[in-house]
Amino acid sequence: MNFFGRLSNGWKLGMTSFGIIRETPSLMLFPVLSGVSLLFICATFLGGIAAFFGFEFESIFARLGGGGDWLAYVALFFFYLVNFTVVVFFNVGLIHCARLIMDGEQANVGDGIAYSLSRIEAIVSWALLAATVGVVLKTLEDRLGAIGKLLIGIVGIVWSVATFFVVPVVAYENLSPIQAVKRSAQIMKDKWGDAIGANFSFGLFYLLGILFIGIISVLLFFVHPVVAIAAGVLSFLFLITLVSAAKTVFLAAAYRHVNDEPVKYYDSEVLDNVFAPKKR
Domain span holding position 248? 3-272
d(CA 190, CA 141): 31
pLDDT at 114: 96
- What pTM was estimated for this model as a whole? 0.84
Residue 158 lies in a domain: yes
Q: Could you tell me if residue 74 is inside a domain? A: yes
Q: Where are the alpha helices (DSSP H) in the chain?
A: 3-23, 29-52, 57-65, 70-102, 109-118, 120-162, 166-172, 177-192, 203-221, 225-258, 268-272
Residue 222 lies in a domain: yes
Q: Which residues contact 207 (CB under 8 A, 6 or more apart)?
A: none
Is 278 a domain residue?
no
Rounded CA separation 107/123 (Å): 21
pLDDT, tens digit (0-9, with 9 covering 90-100), for 183-195:
999 888 877 654 4
Lowest mean pLDDT among 87-91, 98-102, 268-272: 268-272
| Residue 210 pLDDT level (bands cut at 50, 70, 90) | very high
In a domain, 97, yes or no: yes
Q: How many domains does the chain have?
A: 1
Does 279 fall in a domain? no
How far from 81 is each of 1, 132, 202, 216, 278, CA to CA, in Å?
40, 8, 27, 39, 35
Mean pLDDT of 158-163: 86
Residue 248 and residue 92 in contact, taking contact as beta carbons nearer than 8 Å:
no
Residue 199 pLDDT greater than 60, yes or no: no
Residues 21-60: tens digit of each pLDDT: 999 999 999 999 999 988 887 777 666 655 555 544 444 4
> Averaged over 65-92, what is the pLDDT?
81
Distance CA 113, CA 244 (A): 17
